[in-house]
Amino acid sequence: QWPPKVAFGQDVFEDKWEFPRHCLTLEHVLGEGEFGQVVRAQAHMLRPQEESSVVAVKMLKPEASGAEYQDLVSEFQLLKEVDHPNVIKLLGVCTLKGPLYVIVEFCELGSLRSFLRASKFKNKGSWEDKQRSGNDPSMISEKNETRILTFRDLFSFAWQISKGMDYLSGLKIVHRDLAARNVLVTEGMKMKISDFGLSRDVYEADTYLKMSKGRIPVKWMAPESLYAQIYTTKSDIWSYGVVLWEVVTLGASPYPGIPPERLFPLLSTGYRMDRPDDCPEELYAIMQKCWKTEPEHRPSFFMLTDILDSLLQQNT
């Protein structure tokens, strides 16, 4: 059973997580940003019954600074503490005699965003390709055939993410970068909340506004995070509302056509995204609750899970 009882090394890192570097065969890059990358790899003898297991390895690029190294270390420290079916699972770490590698479970279906963009939607017998403006063919995943999603699937994604976030918020963990690009999908359409630090810099230019302290995911941020850098579970709730919008639009980019720097003044006037076409009223009502200006007026993940539970029951 991994992690093994035997200690592999001495470091600031706990020995039980240290995985022998020579047992890891790196394959290809799954995604990369300015300072970090995620690489698919084979881990040998990770589990007793398996000669080799597919894993994802997070690592830094040579240009990364101490701050990025610290981000990856903090992500590892957090992942060590968590254990939930809707949160990415840590498998090990390589810290000795080489660069820092954080090994996590491999999610066959990639990020929720690319998964949604490669899917089609079926509602009451009518087929619909919901991919909208800004559809980039390179985003279509080549690794899986097009899936047909129903409202029930979309509610299930929302429910699973809320469950994972309820668990994290119970541990007083604030994610700060909850977005469909940071939720991973495994076979069986299981959602795994990921990216507690590193891949903040991985994505499209218009997603992150370049700021002195790195790139900021403006379109997912609550007003209080935008103007006062206040991050709490309630600001994660705001981001969760944007994730719901991404889910129901099958991975569209939020606030289409609005430059990130225009967002704060716009939100201050009370502007919010409209209900997307075909979005059920109940789901839009949840988004609106998540986007209340006053953080304390927003619901908790516990409440959201409960509401989504009822929506799922109604859609069986």
Q: Of 200 and 234, which CB lies nearer to ligand ACK in the complex structure? A: 200
| Residue 61 marked ligand-binding | no
Q: Of 182 and 305, which CB lies nearer to ligand ACK in the complex structure? A: 182
Give the residues lining the site for ligand ACK (CB under 6 A): 30-31, 38, 56, 104, 106-107, 110-111, 114, 184, 199, 202
Phi, psi for residue 111 in degrees, rounded to 5 = -75, 155
One DSSP character per residue, 186-205 reads ETTTEEEE--SSGGGGSS-T
The helix, strand and coil proportions of the chain, stated in percent and rounded to the nearest 5, come to 40, 20, 40
Helix axes 151-170, 233-248, angle to 10 degrees: 170
Q: Of 130 and 234, which CB lies nearer to ligand ACK in the complex structure? A: 130
CB-based contacts of 269, cutoff 8 Å, min separation 6: none
Is-catalytic flag, 177? yes
Helices (H), the chain: 66-81, 112-117, 151-170, 223-228, 233-248, 260-268, 281-290, 301-314
Q: Of 50 and 278, which CB lies nearer to ligand ACK in the complex structure? A: 50
Q: Which residue is nearest to ligand ACK (CB)?
A: 31
What single letter denotes the amino acid at residue 64? A
CA distances in angstroms from 205 to 34, 201, 238, 259, 260, listed in the order given: 11, 9, 22, 11, 10
**Selected catalytic residue, list 15, 83, 129, 177:** 177
Binding residues for ATP: 58
- Residues identified as active-site: 177
